[in-house]
Chain A
Amino acid sequence: MSDLEAFRQEIRAWLEENCPPEMRQPVHDEDDICWGGRHFQFKNEAQKLWLTRCAAKGYTVPDWPQAYGGAGMSPAEAKVWREEMNRIGARPPLSSFGIWMLGPALLKFGTEEQKVHYLGQIARGEIRWCQGYSEPGSGSDLVSLQTFGEDKGDHWVVNGSKIWTSYANKADWIFCLVRTDKANKYQGISFLLFDMESAGVSTKPILLISGNSPFCETFFDNVKVPKQQIVGELNRGWDVAKYLLGHEREMISGAGGGDRLTTIGAVLNRAGLEDPLLRAELAMFDVDALAYGAMGEKFLDEIKVGKAHPAQPNMMKYAGTELNKRRYELLMAGGGSASLEWESEASDGGSRARGWLRTKANSIEGGTSEVMLNVISKRILDLPGA
């Protein structure tokens, strides 16, 4: 037996013993997702147990070093972990922007002290993070951001506001882009971390077309941030931001798995598919979805060994989000008038219609599809003037 095969057996046995049956069910609702954090309300004991057991082994972040709360798995081992999780339909023990976004940035740019402190908290699900990037006047043109941190010796005083801050009202800490030099556009931004309970921080949820409020406006009124809470060098936060955006795009692309990669023809067929043209559309969609699934696997394999083009996450984000929008258009069409229901019990509170509307943000958040195409043109295709 190869080492990897032995590892697979070990993982399989551990999962068999430790993954509670409730955690092997598909995720239905938002509250089936474990986000962790100071104020997180576990839906049930199984959810809490699953997090605790995984965190103890470093399995919430399997490929992070053990010193920072991970399990230190190699790329090949991490792939085995994902495959074995998928095999039994296990839910991720912990989902968080700390894992997907801040973590990779800290691993690359953080000091040793920061890594031990913050990464450990993330891995154990103790602190829930949000991301302070977009501002009311800075959407696609992110670098024009205005939130300002005034140098006060051993700390900054931050003033300004952010928008589209995902779950800011539920987060414990924020990683935030703050202008620390007004004279330099790109090299005048710093990447700061601070507690959302700091004096002067307030949030206001934004009601979306889906009827839900996953995003907030976030306001900073003379918020004091100690100098040691900067990641990377002063005024070089854009480098960190860009690196992190790659991970954000990877996350939104769904490359790591999740329901947006799955096919839908068989699902809709069970509810009765009588329209041959709809069936044809579904078949063409399923081809694209399965092909994109292979792309996601290839992308993850390549990124682990440095074979992926550095701008490839932009392509994944573009293709993945456009695919997910198409998926929901077809789910709505397949569901017919039943998918229009907004509040009924049968529709689970209008989950399909709300989900459909939510997907429209996929190709806007984290860089619009149009921006992604610009980046591909410039950085991958090297087209002139792009």
Chain B
Amino acid sequence: MPLYHTEDQAMLADTARQFMADEGAIAKQLRHFRDIGCKDGFGHGLWKQFAELGFTGILVSEADGGLGMGHVEAGIVLEEIGRNLTPSPFLTSAVMAASALADASAELKGRYLPGLLSGDSVFALAIDEGKKHRPERIATRAVRSGNGFSLSGTKDFVVHGSSADMLVVAARTAGADDDAEGITLFAVPRDAAGLSQDAVRLVDSSMATHLRLDNVQLDADAVIGEVDGGREVLSRVLNAGRVGAAAESVGVAQGSFDMTTTYLKQRKQFGKLIGEFQALQHRAAHLYSEIEIARAATIKAQQLLDAGSDKAELMVSVAKAKAGKAASLAVREGVQMHGGIGMTDEYDIGLYMKRDRALAEFMGDMFYHADRVAKLSGY
């Protein structure tokens, strides 16, 4: 399969690009909801529009009422989200939770998928425990209790947790904290007794929570996939989230880069456009290369995931690390090349820097993923 978009994918990209530039624009979404102090950090109106365009069903099978597309298509939407810094629960709900629900029972699908497809529901993932992403270690416990399970533990960096109607929680049903096996995923409704969340606003104006599970009682039908066999589902969810975050990072990098090169062609100093200075040209050209390479790695990972290749795992980590690296460079060069105004809230370039930082941490930063590449390569 060639590493560029098919005609259908190119059409989707055109639609997504136009829509996001119009409706998902920074002034209309990010700044608006930030400035009114919105407790969700995103607009439900836009989320409904995502659903009307079919975006929320991209990764939902046709049998389940979705579009039955893949990670390449989800990535197309995410790149535009990144380019416009559009706040939305797309990545957590339509990409990650949808991947979790793909193999869930008919009962769970029936309970949650209609809300996703209509844009009425928002989902979140409760995976991380502690400040850094380390899903190899899960200490949150789920013990058999009555007809189901009782969950106890704490989770962090639960993005959109306080807005979510349902949270996918990774808990341990067997083994020690560091064991690969013995994980089970649960679909936990927001109003479950014993579930509490401490919402915090992050540097990029998005919302996340510290989540606490205190003997949360769930029926057995809340289990997603197999009891003790959740590592496989979790892997799928993580791959989806990571490659999705990589695509969004590529969009952040591209948006920041476009803004910066535009500025280089407008700003004059010493009687010249600053884009005439070779010191800046070479840095811009280097950055261009890094973004192109990051995009290639990302589409490769998306295609491998969609093809069910056993090389997907490695390439997903390559994509997340490389996209993170490129986006980080893009926003740092962006602020620096804008000079003083790059430090002002009035200019959007700083917003790119903030979003990049949050995305970098989400689902593992470049250090985590480079380490993973090493481990998967046998060293």
Q: Which of A268, A282, A381 is close to B285, meaning CB atoms less than 8 Å apart?
A: A381
Q: Mark A348-383, 1 if CB is under 8 A from B, else 0.
A: 000000000000000000000010111011001111
Q: Which residues of A contact B321 (CB under 8 A)?
A: 284, 287
In this complex, what residue of B is CB-closest to A295?
Answer: B296
- Given the known interface contacts A79-B2, A373-B285, A383-B276, the answer about A295 and B292 at a Cβ–Cβ threshold of 8 Å is yes
Least CB distance from A32 to B in Å reads 26
Assess the A319–B293 pair: CB atoms within 8 A.
Answer: yes
Q: Which of B276, B289, B296, B366 is close to A384, meaning CB atoms less than 8 Å apart?
A: B276
Chain B residues bordering chain A, tally (CB within 8 A): 44
Q: Tell me the complex Cα distance, A272–B264, Å.
A: 48
In this complex, what residue of A is CB-closest to B281?
Answer: A377
Interface of chain B: mostly helix, strand, loop or mixed:
helix
Among the stretches A46-54, A189-197, A297-305, the one at the interface with B is A297-305
Report if B271 contacts A (CB, 8 A). Answer: no
Q: Tell me the complex Cα distance, A385–B155, Å.
A: 53
Per the 8 Å Cβ criterion, residues 283-320 of A in contact with B are 283-284, 286-288, 290-292, 294-295, 297-299, 301-302, 305, 307, 312, 315, 318-319
Assess the A315–B297 pair: CB atoms within 8 A.
Answer: no
Chain A residues bordering chain B, tally (CB within 8 A): 46
Assess the B378–A377 pair: CB atoms within 8 A.
Answer: no
Report if A333 contacts B (CB, 8 A). Answer: no
Q: Which of A283, A288, A295, A318 is close to B374, meaning CB atoms less than 8 Å apart?
A: A283
Report if A265 contacts B (CB, 8 A). Answer: yes
- Given the known interface contacts A282-B379, A373-B286, the answer about A287 and B373 at a Cβ–Cβ threshold of 8 Å is yes
Q: Which residues of A contact B265 (CB under 8 A)?
A: 382-384
Q: Which residues of B contact A383 (CB under 8 A)?
A: 261, 264-265, 275-276, 281, 284
In this complex, what residue of B is CB-closest to A285?
Answer: B370
Assess the B379–A294 pair: CB atoms within 8 A.
Answer: no
Q: Which residues of A contact B299 (CB under 8 A)?
A: 294, 298
Report if B322 contacts A (CB, 8 A). Answer: yes
Assess the B294–A385 pair: CB atoms within 8 A.
Answer: no
Assess the A283–B284 pair: CB atoms within 8 A.
Answer: no
Interface of chain A: mostly helix, strand, loop or mixed:
helix
Report if B377 contacts A (CB, 8 A). Answer: yes
Report which A residues bind B (CB closer than 8 A): 75-76, 79, 263, 265-266, 268-269, 273, 279-280, 282-284, 286-288, 290-292, 294-295, 297-299, 301-302, 305, 307, 312, 315, 318-319, 370, 372-374, 376-377, 380-386
8 contacts between A and B (CB under 8 A): A265-B374, A269-B379, A280-B371, A283-B371, A284-B366, A288-B322, A294-B296, A384-B264
Extra A-B contacts (7), CB below 8 Å, given A269-B379, A383-B281: A269-B378, A282-B374, A283-B371, A284-B370, A287-B318, A372-B285, A383-B264
Report which B residues bind A (CB closer than 8 A): 2-4, 261, 264-265, 272-273, 275-276, 278, 281-282, 284-286, 288-289, 292-294, 296-297, 299-301, 314-315, 317-319, 321-322, 325, 366-367, 369-371, 373-374, 377-379
